[in-house]
Structure formats: C-alpha cells, structure tokens
Amino acid sequence: MAVDQGLVSLHLSAVQQVAAKAQMGQEITDELFRVVAAAQSQFAVVPEQEQGANLKAFRGRLKLMADPMVTSDDTYRGVLAAAVSLLDSQIG
C-alpha cells in the first residue's frame, strides 16, 4: 500500500506544534484531540487502499518520535504518546 508521506508529515507537524505549546506550559488537551481527529478525517478521504497505510504510518512515526532515544523532553514525548493513545482508542 502506498503511503502519502506529505500528508502524514503535515499531520505530524501539527502534533509537534501542539507538543511545543505544551512545553511552554499551555493547555493543549482539546487542541490535541482536534489535531488527531483532523488527521483521521483527512486520511479517511484518500483512496481506500491508502487509508490504512497512512494511518499506520502516522501512528508509527508518532511512536518513533515519542521514543526516549529520539527526544529527552518528557512533556514533548507525553504529547506524542497521548496522540498515539487517542489513535488507538479511536481505531479500536
């Protein structure tokens, strides 16, 4: 299955922006929910064979970026992990 890397990167960037706000002490819970929901909505309108591939790539890259070997900032990692949890709870 083909992955639309540009689309995945666009939504990863949005989650990273939310994580940066959290690092500055801002409340981001609602915004994170909206960003993840927007990603899922946009992935849902791409051709069917790519839907699952894009979502899996998005989730996989979020998990990778949340790894302590990638970033040592607990707040940043926490936001990325929360985004993965949101995806997991909505995917089933």
Please compute the mean of the pLDDT values over residues 80-86 and round it to a whole number: 96
What are 58's two structure tokens?
Answer: 């998005």
> What tokens were used for 14?
């949005």
Q: Determine the 3-state secondary structure of 90 from DSSP.
A: helix
Identify the pLDDT of residue 2.
86
Minimal CA–CA distance to 32: which of 72, 89, 70? Answer: 89
pLDDT tens digit sequence for 3-27: 999 999 999 999 999 999 999 999 9
- Res 9: pLDDT: 97
24-53: per-residue pLDDT in tens?
A: 999 999 999 999 999 999 988 887 667 788
> How many other C-beta atoms lie within 10 A of the C-beta of residue 24?
8
